[in-house]
Structure 1
Amino acid sequence: MKKFTSAPSILNITEYDYSYDNESDLCEKSHSLEIFRFQFLPVLFSLLFVFGLLGNVLVIWVLITCQKLKGMTDVYLLNVASSDLLFVFSLPFLAHYAADEWIFGNVMCKICSGIYYTGFFSSIFFITLMSIDRYLAVVHALAALTVRTAMRGTIISMVLWLVAVFISTPNFLFYQTYKEGHLLMCGISYPENTDNQWKLFTQFEVNIVGFLVPLSIIIYCYSHIITSLQRCKNKQKTKAVKLVVLVVLVFFLFWTPFNIVVFLYSLQDLHILDDCEIRNQLDVAIQVTTAISFIHCCLNPIIYAFAGEKFKSHVKELFHRNMGYVSPCKKCGILQAPICDPKSSVHTPVMGTSSMDTVV
């Protein structure tokens, strides 16, 4: 008989832990877990689906329609929004699963788990790339002029999507449906006799590849960016950096708790934290932190809307255009402030900046 385990992921926050070999090892689960699952998660996932879908589609619409993906940063922003949409598309399935059981079949079980990890890794990859892009634009402005093109950004993005899918392959392979009592569940079943090794591998993969390495790169980039801006103050560069910093900070604010819990799960699997009460606390923690991390899929559009003046102007222009109203500023260049507005400061392209400035 195959053994199903509860390696941390969005699908497993709706399950109990059946990874222990002996029935006597099972801990009695808290009733609060069921309340959280059946009452809170379906509502949260449904709301996130609506707002995440509308917000990220709007971002993609603005990037493609108004900014025409003219720079490398535009390409990365498009891919960040696309990564968030991966989460969003799985939410209706997860909302039903949280409220009842898995009714969507074995293929969708694999797809939803794969989407979760692919979206997770691609998000952090592209946010890291945005930080590197800002580093090149600010610290190595002259050298970056010929490097930071939309074509190169597209090629790099394609490679990173392939890497994200490759890293997520075990989840496509090992997730499957199974019966638990009278309910049909969606869980992960690793190859026989390698259960614990695979769990540790995937959990450390999330912590190292999806958190510690990107965090180190981002800290390096922004430490040098701050030093460069202190030496030579540049308003346009500073504005462009602020938005990317905000996107990065929000990402780590909402994903750090999840990574901490995943690390604690690894300590549990290594029998360093081998206590029934700790197991119950981790069961609660993985549910809460995973739900928090999913809120992130709605936040980037809100950041652009409130922190990006040009983004708001692009949205207004799009709605006016589609409602039959032609803005008198329609012919203004994307890299310029509307020339018909005497109060707007003219945006002069600054060496080393990119079309990221258009959303600031």
Structure 2
Amino acid sequence: MVEDDYIDPGFFNTSKDSSQEHKHFVQFRNFFLPCVYVVVFICGLLGNSLVLIIYIFYQKLKSLTDVFLVNLPLADLVFVCTLPFWAYAGIHEWIFGNFVCKTLLGIYTLNFYTSMLILTCITVDRFIAVVQATKAHNQQAKRMTWGKVICLSVWAISLLVSLPQIIYGNVSHFNKSICDYHDDTIFTVVLATQMTLGFFLPLLAMIVCYSVIVKTLLHARGFQKHKSLKIIFLVVAVFLLTQTPFNMVKLIRSTNWEYHTMTSFDYAITVTEAIAYLRACLNPVLYAFVSLKFRRNFWKLVKDIGCLPYLGASSQWKSSEDTSKTYSASHNVEATSMIQL
């Protein structure tokens, strides 16, 4: 027998095991991702819609932070509205056509970049409001104008870097029809853009700005200091826990094409991507509900819609409590009170 004609009997078993593992992964993904999509859609829709309603009808846009906190839930809201389509396609197949495929891929990517860049803007805004509190207060009108320009620029830049998904997004037909983006010629550029704008830039801004903010607050006096520090650490921790795993797995996978054939990496990508989507649910809590003013307006909304009339006394109690806290806060240093947490 010629040596080249010899085939290891274990080859067939290995191939069979690999095929079985992939089959199990497909079953897991088709069940897991749609469930995550539905949960994120419901929670993100309720939370972000509530933030928008309160800011538009109750709180108004009185500061630069308010401008950013309207654009952030708007981006997250549009993002979560694409999830039912992906959930249906995960359970069945893509039936919505090529145009909708390109559109939803573009919307998904556009709002991903917008959300991350707005988070960066909020971080820098908080840095200026605390570290340069007097200057920020005196130039509030000017900062409002610049804030609106910045937000328009963020949406424009996000649309620009989303063009590859819009142009190269397509419906592919394998075992079933899927809507996907894949183009080897610009894959590296797209991945580098996603990693830079969608992870490293917000992370760097948080590390630098919040480090200086923490140092400033530690030298401040007043009861709000410890609460502010806790919220800062919570914001950074949530960002790291939700965004780091997915980005690291993507980065590692891009270094070697062999990783694309490993089922373990398929599981890692699927699970970490689902975790990353949780930001759309958590952003309203981290960036809006922690504000005393926002919570007061929330109770006004509850009272106005009449869903919980028996909470009238409770809401009055909360209002008086908030008033007391606000009065106490006015005696703190300006740097501490300027940060809108």
TM-score by length of 1: 0.77
Tell me what 1:211 maps to: 199
Distance 1:151 1:31, change over 3 A: same
Q: How far apart, CA to CA, are the structure 2 residues paired with 1:253 and 1:341?
A: 31
1:74·1:355 contact (CA, 8 Å) conserved in 2? Answer: no
1:264 is paired with a residue whose SS is: helix
Q: How far apart, CA to CA, are the structure 2 residues paired with 1:296 and 1:173?
A: 27
Structure 1 residue 338: deviation in Å?
4.6
Determine if the alignment matches structure 1 residue 175 to structure 2 residue 169. Answer: yes
2:168·2:181 contact (CA, 8 Å) conserved in 1? Answer: yes
Q: Which moved more, 1:293-302 or 1:56-65?
A: 293-302
Tell me what 1:62 maps to: 54
Determine if the alignment matches structure 1 residue 141 to structure 2 residue 118. Answer: no
Tell me what 2:245 maps to: 257
Q: How far apart, CA to CA, are the structure 1 residues paired with 2:323 and 2:117?
A: 41
1:70 is paired with a residue whose SS is: coil
Tell me what 2:267 maps to: 284
Distance 1:354 1:89, change over 3 A: farther
Determine if the alignment matches structure 1 residue 161 to structure 2 residue 144. Answer: no
Structure 1 residue 330: deviation in Å?
11
Tell me what 2:124 maps to: 132
Write the deviation string for residues 277-312 of structure 1: whole angstroms up to 9, x where unpaired: 6x3222111111111111221122344687444433
Distance 1:127 1:59, change over 3 A: same
Q: How far apart, CA to CA, are the structure 1 residues paired with 2:312 and 2:145?
A: 31
Q: How far apart, CA to CA, are the structure 2 residues paired with 1:241 and 1:54?
A: 28
1:122·1:164 contact (CA, 8 Å) conserved in 2? Answer: yes
Could you tell me which of 97, 105, 108 is aligned with 1:113? 105
Amino acid in structure 2 at the alignment position of 1:36: F
2:51·2:284 contact (CA, 8 Å) conserved in 1? Answer: yes
**Which has the greater radius of gyration?**
2
2:82 is paired with a residue whose SS is: helix
1:30 is paired with a residue whose SS is: helix
Q: How far apart, CA to CA, are the structure 1 residues paired with 2:284 and 2:203?
A: 22
Could you tell me which of 316, 322, 328 is aligned with 2:305? 322
Unaligned runs of 5+ in 1: 1-23, 332-336
Could you tell me which of 348, 352, 356 is aligned with 2:330? 348
Tell me what 1:3 maps to: none
Structure 1 residue 163: deviation in Å?
0.8
Query: How many residues align structurally?
Result: 317
Amino acid in structure 2 at the alignment position of 1:259: N
Kindly report the root-mean-square deviation, in angstroms, between the aligned alpha carbons of the 2 structures: 3.2
Could you tell me which of 80, 83, 95 is aligned with 1:88? 80
Distance 1:237 1:158, change over 3 A: farther
Q: Which moved more, 1:298-307 or 1:88-97?
A: 298-307
Aligned sequence identity (%): 34
TM-score by length of 2: 0.81
In terms of fraction of residues, the more helix-rich structure is 2
Q: Which moved more, 1:320-329 or 1:138-147?
A: 320-329
2:170 is paired with a residue whose SS is: strand
Tell me what 2:284 maps to: 301
Q: Which moved more, 1:341-350 or 1:219-228?
A: 341-350
1:80·1:127 contact (CA, 8 Å) conserved in 2? Answer: yes
Q: How far apart, CA to CA, are the structure 2 residues paired with 1:116 and 1:339?
A: 42
1:338·1:344 contact (CA, 8 Å) conserved in 2? Answer: no
2:68·2:122 contact (CA, 8 Å) conserved in 1? Answer: yes
Distance 1:340 1:187, change over 3 A: closer
2:62 is paired with a residue whose SS is: coil
Distance 1:62 1:263, change over 3 A: same
Structure 1 residue 208: deviation in Å?
2.1
1:224 is paired with a residue whose SS is: helix
Unaligned runs of 5+ in 2: 1-14
1:144·1:352 contact (CA, 8 Å) conserved in 2? Answer: no
